Amino acid sequence: MVLAAVFAIPLIFLGPHGSVVALKTAMFVPEIFADAPIQPLRWITSASNVERSTIPYPGGNASLDVYVPAHDGTHAAVILMLGARPIDQDDPVITRFADGLSRMGIVVMVPASDGLSTGAISPDEIDLLVRELISLRDRPDVDKNRVGYIGLSVGASLSLVAAADPRIRDDVRFVNAFGGYFDVRDLFVALSSRSLNYAGETSDWEPAPLAREVMIENVALGLPSDGERECVRKVSESTDSTDWCESVPLSPMGEDALALLDEPDTGRAQQLVNVLTAPSMKRLDAISPRSVVAEIKADILVMHDLNDRYIPYTESRRLVAALPESRIRAWTELELFDHVMPGHGLDPVTFSREVAQLFRHVYLTFTEML
């Protein structure tokens, strides 16, 4: 009923093409929700064909699932980029979403890399994303003028950085960044201090355990010895492990890393992160959209869950504030998701409002492809 009501507006104001895109949007939105009572897209379209391959890169291997529309012709194409320690490529949430996009007439690549599967976020992932887009763009069944990224969580941030790469920045039409960070250092400060600091105001924030684990893994990777790295990992798992670290000679960086795990206040966390990341400044800049935001030529669509416990919504606000206004196609804050997955139980009125906002955002994303 909500979708039918929302669709009446495009019929009147958007014209023939806009109305078609709106209709397709209305059919697609239920694909986002695993428990949707109706699946209109599946009633009138054929399932996609899935091509699987593996390619090497410096971080290991990347497996690529490409969902190809059942009907012939040239199609828009998108890379659906997942996050750090993501759910499996074969998870029903992912396969349903990717298949739904393909049923809409879009070629969809879903990559999964060895590096991100362990939580390690490195510049190698950016180069891999660029290579993947070149491969997708050059397919004979792809319209080179309608190629982009849909990035989720850490994948949103990496997609933004990749879109600025000189090899492809003139070819990336859009990036839909959902729940990403703007600067990985600001994210580390929030995760370690359990607080949000934005626009001069600080508030409490309770991050998800997995988010802190990913931060700890990336902090540990920057330490100078194997012993120190293992010490930080063990202490993050249990404070009883501090005894284990007594036999490990700690460098000043190692001591700062342990201090970062001790829930410092925001100011102290900022100092510790600055010290810890100084030797790896180049690497962190290479994975942070902040460093390349002025070089992105693609249209940007930004989404974030206001209750996000993995990456705070303030990171997307920083991104939007830094982007040229001409680059921002959509900016949507929602309460409908648990990070980047549908998850919050809402009352009917709130749910209807949230679905209407989601519909608008998905519609604007589809205008880039359909």
> Is the pLDDT score of 199 beyond 60?
yes
Extract the tokens encoding 37: 């009572």
Q: Answer whether 136's CB lies under 8 Å from 51's CB.
A: no
CA-CA distance, 80 to 157, in Å (whole number)?
13
Confidence category of residue 12, pLDDT binned at 50, 70, 90: low
> So what's the pLDDT on residue 281?
79
Q: How far apart are CA 87 and CA 84, in angstroms?
A: 9
CA distances to 215, 231, 242, 264 from 245, rounded to whole Å, are: 20, 5, 5, 20
3-class SS of residue 128: helix
Q: Is residue 17 scored above 90 in pLDDT?
A: no
> Which one is predicted more confidently, 218 or 365?
365
69 burial type by CB count under 10 A (0-12 exposed, 13-18 middle, 19+ buried): buried
Burial (CB < 10 A; 0-12, 13-18, 19+), residue 335, is: middle
* d(C-alpha 342, C-alpha 153), whole Å: 14
Q: Cα separation of 62 and 53, whole Å?
A: 8
Tens of pLDDT along 69-85?
Answer: 999 999 999 999 999 99
Are residues 77 and 137 in contact, defined by beta-carbon separation less than 8 angstroms?
Answer: yes
Does pLDDT of 286 surpass 60?
A: yes
252 in Cβ contact with 224 (< 8 Å): no
Dihedral angle, C-alpha 335, 340, 146, 168, nearest 10 °: 120
Sorted by where each starts, the structural domains of the chain and their CATH numbers stand as 2-181+292-366 (3.40.50.1820), 184-284 (no CATH)
Give the SS3 label for residue 147. Answer: strand
- The predicted-structure confidence for 125-151, as pLDDT tens digits, reads as follows 999 999 999 999 999 999 999 999 999
pLDDT: which is higher, 111 or 22 = 111
The C-alpha atoms of residue 204 and residue 12 are separated, in whole angstroms, by 45
3-state secondary structure of 204: strand
CA distance 189 to 269: 5
Under 8 Å between Cβ of 172 and 166: no
